[in-house]
Amino acid sequence: MPAARQQPFGSDASVFPLQAGGDHLSGRMLGEELRDHRVRRGYTLAEAARVIRGSTSKVSRLERGESPVKYRDLVDLARFYNVSRAEQVHLDQLYQQTSNEDLHARFADVTPHYLKRLIRLERTASWITVYEHRVMPGLLQTEDYARAVTRLIEIDLSDGDIDRVVQQRIQRQEILQSAPPGFVALIHESALYTQYCDPAAMAEQIRHLIRLRGRPKVNVWVLPMEYIAPPTSIFHMKFDDGEHKELAYAEHADGAHYITNRSQLDRTRKMFVRLRDAAYEDDRGGASETDRNLEALEAALSHWEKLVPAGRPE
């Protein structure tokens, strides 16, 4: 599933981009952070070394910023130290400043081949339109929702690899932050009521969709429950430059394929027009001043909030 530049979870210690030449300093800062987590939790260099399948001297070099940190080692150490979500975000931001790797390269071992191309292309798209009938689009998923969906699909992955798949999905969402492409999500209403995680997490996922609608150039449209929609997830991108100005990406049970043929792209565009026409109307500025897409999302939110056990914060 075609699973935001702000922090996804918030952190007391924000990382601001360094100027050119700051990569080495970021490496030292990342090493110091890792050493601080290890020392505060009472672990030895030898214990940390076993986690990353290395030597004590390797861990020592990482902590002094003398050797580059592999992202898998960073994730394994963070899990071993049981860092908080905010601390993980902080470590990720430091890592991004020390590494020039593409996002898909950092997660290459848990990224299907067909998805690697999509990750690269979506960064340069001027418009992205996605249709989902079973789940929330990956670029709009919360961490808890993404983890629950990934567990259902990637049944052979370890907990650590599932965490990395989720982290990749969350980091992909950065394209919807500063200077985002135009983004349209068409979601079948049944997906809003399909439970993949506990009611509190489902409610937070719906709140997340509502919040995202307030961002510039982000549109979330809901297809009514009774609408008989296509059973295939489709991702369509437009580009301002290059030889190919657009392409589509369609998922199926065990993979996906890219659509670049002109006649097939024409059919894809027509399908999206039909889906958009079938979505709830947004009459803000019109006679009724109603936003039925928002009403549909709020109804789903109310549904999940009522199912949250009494006494548990929503």
Q: What is the mean pLDDT of residues 146-175?
A: 86
Average confidence score pLDDT of the chain: 80
**Sequence-distant (≥ 6) Cβ neighbours of residue 230 within 8 angstroms:** 131, 133, 271, 275
- Does domain 23-100 fall under CATH 3.30.2130.10? My reply is no
| Rounded Cα distance, 3 and 280, in Å | 23
Q: How far apart are the first and last CA of the chain?
A: 27
> Would you state the pLDDT for residue 283?
53
Q: Is the pTM of this model over 0.75?
A: no
Confidence check: pLDDT of 136 > 80: yes
Domain range list for the chain: 23-100, 112-307
The alpha carbons of the chain give a radius of gyration, in whole angstroms, of 21
Asked whether the beta carbons of 83 and 91 are under 8 A apart, the reply is yes
> Would you state the pLDDT for residue 87?
85
| Rounded Cα distance, 147 and 151, in Å | 6
Lowest mean pLDDT segment, chosen from 39-53, 134-148, 280-294: 280-294
**Higher confidence at residue 257 or residue 79?**
79
Pick the CATH number of 112-307 from 3.10.20, 3.30.310, 3.30.870, 3.10.50: 3.30.870
Burial class, 88, CB count within 10 angstroms (exposed 0-12 / middle 13-18 / buried 19+)? buried
| DSSP code of residue 68 | P
Mean pLDDT highest for which of 33-47, 150-164, 291-305? 291-305
> Would you state the pLDDT for residue 281?
83
> Would you state the pLDDT for residue 19?
35
